[in-house]
């Protein structure tokens, strides 16, 4: 399971020209799932995300988490995070999980993230053509892969 975590001052998701979710200060998370992902991957990632100290403290040092600032989160599914570009110029998405595997894991990720955060998170729509708009604050962008924990 791979995530791209972006600290944002605002973010939104639009589907079919209708803004479906938006947040102010918080995190935008792009989530990619592979067939080998498990509940353990979810627990490891969500714990890391909610405790990730990427927000400024009173001294302006990145020393506080999303929980500390009571920030908001948007999660967007993105199978292209597992693209392989080893051969040619057209990315291969063969490693990305098919919807029958990915959707339950995506939903479990959201539930676990809400539990770890202690409040609801916003989401895009799995498989939809989404327009994601954000102002990356910093910029701060962290990439985590549950298969590279060590």
Q: For 21-70, write each residue's pLDDT tens digit.
A: 999 999 999 999 999 999 999 999 999 999 999 999 999 899 999 999 99
pLDDT (0 to 100) of residue 149: 78
In a domain, 150, yes or no: no
Among the listed residues 33, 31, 15, 17, the one whose alpha carbon sits nearest the alpha carbon of residue 128: 15
- Residue 16: give the domain boundaries: 2-145
DSSP 123: E
Q: Does this model's pTM top 0.85?
A: yes
Average pLDDT, the chain: 96
The answer to whether 131 and 14 are in contact (CB under 8 A) is yes
Annotated catalytic residue, options 80, 107, 115, 141: 80
pLDDT (0 to 100) of residue 144: 97
Among the listed residues 49, 36, 33, the one whose alpha carbon sits nearest the alpha carbon of residue 126: 33
Under the banding of pLDDT at 50, 70 and 90, the label for residue 12 is very high
CATH of residue 91: 3.50.80.10
- Does the pLDDT of residue 150 top 80, yes or no? no
Residues present in the chain in total: 150
Q: How many domains does the chain have?
A: 1
**Phi, then psi, of 102 in degrees rounded to 5:** -70, -40
In a domain, 27, yes or no: yes
Q: What's the mean pLDDT in 131-142?
A: 97
Under the banding of pLDDT at 50, 70 and 90, the label for residue 129 is very high
Quick count: other Cβ atoms within 10 Å of Cβ 76?
21
Tell me whether residue 80 is one of the annotated catalytic residues. Answer: yes
Tell me whether residue 122 is one of the annotated catalytic residues. Answer: no
Measure the CA–CA gap between 143 and 116, rounded to whole angstroms: 19
Annotated catalytic residue, options 79, 109, 112, 123: 79
Tell me whether residue 109 is one of the annotated catalytic residues. Answer: no
Share of the chain above pLDDT 70, in %: 99
pLDDT (0 to 100) of residue 142: 97
Annotated catalytic residue, options 6, 46, 78, 122: 78
């Amino acid at each position: 399971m791979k995530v791209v975590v972006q600290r944002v001052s605002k973010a939104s998701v639009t589907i079919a020209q209708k803004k479906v979710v938006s947040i102010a200060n918080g995190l935008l998370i792009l989530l990619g799932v592979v067939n080998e992902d498990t509940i353990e991957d979810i627990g490891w990632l969500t714990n890391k995300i909610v405790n990730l100290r990427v927000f400024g403290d009173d001294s302006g040092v990145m020393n506080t988490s999303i929980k500390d600032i009571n920030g908001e989160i948007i999660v967007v599914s993105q199978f292209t995070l597992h693209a392989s570009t080893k051969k040619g110029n057209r990315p291969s998405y063969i490693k990305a999980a098919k919807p029958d595997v990915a959707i339950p894991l995506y939903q479990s990720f959201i539930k676990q993230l809400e539990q770890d955060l202690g409040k609801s998170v916003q989401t895009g729509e799995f498989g939809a053509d989404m327009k994601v708009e954000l102002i990356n604050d910093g910029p701060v962008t962290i990439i985590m892969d549950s298969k590279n924990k060590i």
